[in-house]
Amino acid sequence: MDVGASAVAFVGFGLSSINSLYQLFSSIKDGPKKLADLSGALRRLQSVFEQIDTLPDLPDIVRSTPSLAKCLAACRADIGRFDSSLQKLNFSAGERLHGLMWKRLKIAFGEKDITYMLTIVSAYADSLTLELNLIQTRAISTPVSE
């Protein structure tokens, strides 16, 4: 699979994993502020991935922007690892309803782990937002050929 096509797959997989993490963290209402911050960072990352997914000629853009391809691949790997770790906890619907999720999450992941995830997710959201802004700026400043 070439770089452009693989990046399109990264975006699709990334959106799915980000959405899964966002749904989990945003549903925990009794956690610390860092958890709410992580939920917000995941929402920002989700929004950037959605915007990237709607770019026309995404495979060509990724091929011509190696920094975007590299960032998407690294983000997909980290988000996939976070998602995989959290899926192992296998939360039940009852835990979601009775506020037990934070207690189980706190046992499996310490506050340092949550802080680490927040730092990583925020960095990807910022980096991908910058990449997207550069792509949009180039598209605006490039004259249309007649």
58-82: per-residue pLDDT in tens? 888 888 889 998 999 899 999 999 9
Domain interval for residue 45? 3-140
pTM of the model: 0.84
123 and 81 Cβ atoms separated by less than 8 Å = no
Residues ≥6 apart with Cβ < 8 Å to 100: 94
First-to-final CA distance of the chain: 33
At position 58, the amino acid (one-letter code) is: L
pLDDT at position 138, please? 84
pLDDT at position 46, please? 95
Residue 136 lies in a domain: yes
As for how many domains the chain has, the answer is 1
Residue 119 lies in a domain: yes
Beta strand spans in 45-122 (E):
none
**Integer Cα distance of 53 and 145 in angstroms:** 25
**Predicted confidence band of residue 132 (pLDDT cuts 50, 70, 90):** very high
